[in-house]
Amino acid sequence: MISPEAFYTLLVEHEVDFFTGVPDSLLKDFCGYVQDHAAHHLIAANEGNAVGVASGYHLASGKIPLVYMQNSGQGNAINPLLSLTDSEVYSIPMLLIVGWRGEPGVSDEPQHVKQGKVTSAVFDAMGISYAVLPEDIKEAQACLDTAFLVIKEKQMPYAILVRNGTFDAYSNIANPSEHSLSREEALRFVVDAVGDAVVVSTTGKTSRELFELREERKESHARDFLTVGSMGHASSIALGIALELNKEVYCFDGDGAFLMHMGSVAVIGSQSCKNFKHVVFNNGVHDSVGGQPTAASDLSLASIAKDCGYAQVFTATDEKSLKAALGKLASCEGPALLEVGITPGARKDLGRPTTSPQENKKAFMEFLQK
């Protein structure tokens, strides 16, 4: 395994001093070290944004920036990588550090399997050279030496794939919370309030906690669509359902997902969909991949939704205000949003859904058709 500090030192030796990207669980220890030690570090809303920011940095400085991402972020990054940084367009060099979820032969969650199979093929199709990061620091140094030679020669991106367990553990500086409720505690109150409404929950721990809550209460999972992967798109899925149904549809969202494709919030606001209800659990961090901060801790997501055309918005930061806001949310016409301030973190024994995505889809569609 490689020490995040040692790897960071190698990057600095190659004059890398600008880091941007979207955190990944496979890179959480490296990202945590960068967060605590890099003078120039920006956590982007999505991977395409990160490529754009890195491009601007190179244009201004002439230096080689670093962009980190999970391989699921390839999709968000493809457009700027091909139409901006490619050698046939602006020829902008950068180092891509990519967490390789769903690596063939390695057990992983269903949303990562396909992406893992095609990760290297996607880079091949884009003409981006890549290598797999060795777990030995001397071999990693040689890997980086090669990467920077190629980057400087071709003046375009180069990708390094990182396998699970490549980096040693690193505990980054914790972010203090001003809120009293955990997401799981808040979720219990929200589920009580929405009753038998249709629920679309965002990827990550929100869906995992919702599944376990239904199991604990011996309730059916049929009314819940558990979004796996597709970060930032749960609200769009919920909108598509709400436009077709006369039933209340709730989207359970997270602050990182809300920010990732925030343009969808304006689209939702423009539709005047009265049965659309949006609950955003805001802990100000990317909770599922290491707890790195998002920009949402300094924003009012409710105010953004209001400015984007939501008919009603509410906020809550504790049990009393949450219960009051949920009553108003249930009785109002949408589109409406409730922003719930919560503490970062989740319990360590949190499980994962035991049903497959296909099983979830089948049960969910049957529920909607009743």
* Confidence (pLDDT) at 336: 98
Q: What is the pLDDT of residues 303-357, one digit of tens each?
A: 999 999 999 999 999 999 999 999 999 999 999 999 999 999 888 889 899 999 9
Whether the Cβ atoms of residue 271 and residue 216 lie closer than 8 Å to each other: no
- Enumerate residues 6+ apart whose C-beta is below 8 A from 62: none
- Enumerate residues 6+ apart whose C-beta is below 8 A from 277: 194, 197, 248, 249, 250, 251, 329, 330, 334, 335, 336, 337, 338
- pTM of the full predicted structure? 0.92
Please state the three-class secondary structure of 111-166 as a single string. Answer: HHHHHHHHHHHHHHHHCCCEEECCCCHHHHHHHHHHHHHHHHHHCCCEEEEECCCC
* Confidence (pLDDT) at 177: 65
* Confidence (pLDDT) at 175: 64
Of residues 110 and 62, more confidently modeled: 62
Residue the block writes with tokens 């071709």: 154
- Enumerate residues 6+ apart whose C-beta is below 8 A from 83: 89
Q: Which two tokens stand for residue 3?
A: 């020490």
Which band of pLDDT confidence, cut at 50, 70 and 90, is reported for residue 180? confident
Domains defined along the chain, listed by start: 4-162 (3.40.50.970), 183-369 (3.40.50.970)
Give residue 319's identity as a one-letter amino acid code: E
Q: What is the pLDDT of residues 95-129, one digit of tens each?
A: 999 999 999 999 888 888 899 999 999 999 999 99
* Dist. CA 54–CA 92, nearest whole Å: 9
